[in-house]
Amino acid sequence: MNTCLKRPLRFDPRLLNRLSCMLLVCFLSETARGQSLFTLVDGNSLLEINTGAQATAYQWKVDGKQHLEELSNWYRVGNNPSTPETSVHTLAIISETQTGPNTLNVQYLSAGQFLLEIDFALFGGAPGSGFSTMGETIQITNLTSLPMSFHLFEYVDLDLDETPLDDTVWLTSPNSLMQADPFTDFQGTFDVDRYELDYQPNTLGKLTDPVASALSDSWPTGAGPLGPPGDVTWALQWDFVGSIGARPQISPGQTAIVSKECQLQMYFVPEPGTCALSLWIAGLIAHFIPRRVKSYTLGRSWAVHRN
């Protein structure tokens, strides 16, 4: 009978330390990944945010209706034509705090270059009102010892009422944009240097190509209207470059701030089980009756741009 003798096991504290470190890294990685998803809620509105994804905000629901496909931010440092735009979500996240049920603060870091901070805020209306507002403030702090040329972009794909092919978008002034479909109006206010109205995925292709890009238009060229057929999108650009007529470069230690405010008003809030005939009738009513939204007047600009 053969006998196999095994050496007794010996405890190696170094092995335990290695295993502990590996488990800690895995735990922290999973925890950080889980914290990337946030839901902001207020009144009749909900905003879904994934801080670790290109489409940082990807759902904006008002009275149960989804209106947002993608809101993403992009940046480019300097003016080298071979340096492409980069999505903000690729930066390191050093802090993300849901400061309230309807607010979120996220801080992204490019080590040794800049700190980029985004604050989201959602304010819903009463249930059944069809009204909602969403605000966004972005701060860029120069962490270098030299003035910085910085380009910031925001790309937005709204599909109002979950129907992407019947929207029309246009600028009403250098700092105001409208998007509308038969049942819903959206207005965004901002202070930008350039903008672009186009069909999906043209502008997104420009932001993801391997070279430096600029959005196509500045007021009043390219102001629209742009509408069906096609899935309309729009994008905004802020340039801190210091040239004549432009925003100054960001000085060492200085923080540049930009902001955007959005309002959305649905004119027909469907009840569960509502039939298609009711939607069609409501669309006819909305077509012929002048419409107004809290804090701003739509007038008849929508009627003009529908033709």
Check pLDDT > 90 for residue 69: yes
pLDDT value of residue 294:
34
Q: Domains in the chain: how many in total?
A: 1
**62 in a structural domain:** yes
**31 in a structural domain:** no
pTM: 0.78
Check pLDDT > 90 for residue 174: yes
Q: What is the pLDDT of residues 7-32, one digit of tens each?
A: 333 434 453 344 344 434 344 443 44
- For the segment 139-162, the average pLDDT, to the nearest whole number, is 98
Rounded-to-10 torsion of CA 296, 302, 304, 306: 170
pLDDT value of residue 271:
63
Structural contact between residues 213 and 84, judged by C-beta atoms closer than 8 angstroms: yes
Higher pLDDT, 270 or 211: 211
- For the segment 155-183, the average pLDDT, to the nearest whole number, is 97
**2 in a structural domain:** no
Domain span at residue 201 reads: 39-306
Q: Strand pairing of 65-66 and 131-142?
A: unpaired
The whole-chain average pLDDT of the chain stands at 83
Residue with tokens 């629209």: 224
- For the segment 252-259, the average pLDDT, to the nearest whole number, is 98
pLDDT value of residue 281:
44
- For the segment 42-68, the average pLDDT, to the nearest whole number, is 98
pLDDT value of residue 270:
62
Q: What is the pLDDT of residues 261-298, one digit of tens each?
A: 999 999 987 664 443 444 344 444 444 434 433 333 33
Structural contact between residues 93 and 104, judged by C-beta atoms closer than 8 angstroms: no
Strand partners, 247: 240
**130 in a structural domain:** yes
Rounded-to-10 torsion of CA 286, 288, 293, 297: 160
- For the segment 48-71, the average pLDDT, to the nearest whole number, is 97
Q: What is the pLDDT of residues 87-122, one digit of tens each?
A: 999 999 999 999 999 999 999 999 999 999 999 999
**5 in a structural domain:** no
pLDDT value of residue 245:
73
**12 in a structural domain:** no
**Exposed, middle or buried: residue 196 (CB in 10 Å: 0-12, 13-18, 19+)?**
buried
Strand partners, 122: 134
pLDDT value of residue 243:
81
Check pLDDT > 90 for residue 255: yes
Please name which of 201, 197, 152 lies closest in space to residue 172, comparing C-alpha atoms.
197
Check pLDDT > 70 for residue 55: yes
DSSP per residue over 254-302, as a string? Answer: -EEEEEEEEEEEES--PPTT--HHHHHHHHHHHHHS---BTTB--TTHH
**7 in a structural domain:** no
**Any idea what the CATH number is for the domain that residue 150 is in?**
2.70.98
**8 in a structural domain:** no
Min mean pLDDT across 5-9, 49-53, 70-74 is at: 5-9
Q: How far apart, in whole angstroms, are the C-alpha atoms of residue 180 and residue 158?
A: 10
